[in-house]
Amino acid sequence: MDSKLTSILQTSTLLFRKFGVRSISMDEIASQLGMSKKTLYQYVENKSDLVAKVLDFYLEGSNACMDEINGNLNAIDLLMQVSRSVSREISASNPVMLFDLQKYYPALHHNFVQKKKEHVYMKILDNMLKGISEGIYRPEIDTELIAKLYVEKLFALHDPEFLEAMDFTSEKIFKVMFENHIRGIANARGLAYFENMLNHPTS
């Protein structure tokens, strides 16, 4: 990617996450970058195009970070790390930015969420196949269905309406959700490992 475009996307991402999308103008972005708006428009067609490129840029970086999580871990430890990574990322999202995207760029927002879910789904699916091959997940589980259900629960965990209806923290809900998921797919060997992990979290 062109270094100038990378700088534009990095700066725009920071501004959007801090102030929201609607309140930041193309003039302000150009000013922050120390370039003219004419130069800015050599890299993006308009603000909608900029938002689309920012979302793709963010998604690429986010997915790359998830892909770098240590694959040498067993399936249970790996799933915990991937799940926490997704959960932290969603929690860190600026509500103002999300609101602006949903209201003013609904198609772009929907496309972004779907792409993110698809990537997480593939990670969860791969994890179940890994766990089965390692002999710690039950071989008869419906991997595709369970992966889809887990992804939906993972994203619903940070739905403001869902959280308002629950008298628990998102961390508590995540802990219970993850534990229920593992207990539903692990075999006796996997459950023994998981119980040991719960009883000795730092070992």
Listed residue (64, 60, 52) closest to 16, CA to CA: 52
Rounded CA-CA distance 13/75 in Å is 33
CATH number at residue 129: 1.10.357.10
Q: Is the pLDDT of residue 91 over 80?
A: no
* pLDDT grade for 45, boundaries at 50, 70 and 90: very high
Listed residue (59, 53, 56, 170) closest to 120, CA to CA: 59
Q: Report yes or no on 13 lying in a domain.
A: no
Rounded CA-CA distance 150/185 in Å is 11
Question: Sign of the C-alpha dihedral, residues 158, 159, 161, 166?
Answer: negative
- Three-class secondary structure of residue 184 per DSSP: helix
CB 75, CB 147: distance < 8 Å: no
Q: What is the pLDDT of residue 202?
A: 60
CB 12, CB 42: distance < 8 Å: no
Structure tokens, 154? 């993972």
State which residues form the domain around 98. 69-199
Q: Report yes or no on 163 lying in a domain.
A: yes
Q: Report yes or no on 111 lying in a domain.
A: yes
Residue whose entry in the numeric block shows the structure tokens 């997940």: 137
Give the CA angle between residues 56, 61, 63 to the nearest 5°. Answer: 90
Q: Report yes or no on 99 lying in a domain.
A: yes
Residues 9-13 have a mean pLDDT of 96
Q: Report yes or no on 2 lying in a domain.
A: no
Rounded CA-CA distance 138/55 in Å is 37
- Number of structural domains, the chain? 1
Chain-centre distance of CA 149, in angstroms?
Answer: 16
Structure tokens, 91? 């929690």
Residues 27-43 have a mean pLDDT of 96
Q: Report yes or no on 194 lying in a domain.
A: yes
Report the residue count for the chain.
203
Q: Report yes or no on 143 lying in a domain.
A: yes
Rounded CA-CA distance 155/166 in Å is 15
Q: Report yes or no on 141 lying in a domain.
A: yes
22 or 166, higher pLDDT: 22
Q: Whole-model pTM?
A: 0.86
Q: What is the pLDDT of residue 94?
A: 81
**Mean pLDDT estimate for the chain:** 90
Residues 11-18 have a mean pLDDT of 94
Task: State the maximum Cα–Cα separation within the chain, in Å, rounded to a whole number.
Answer: 64
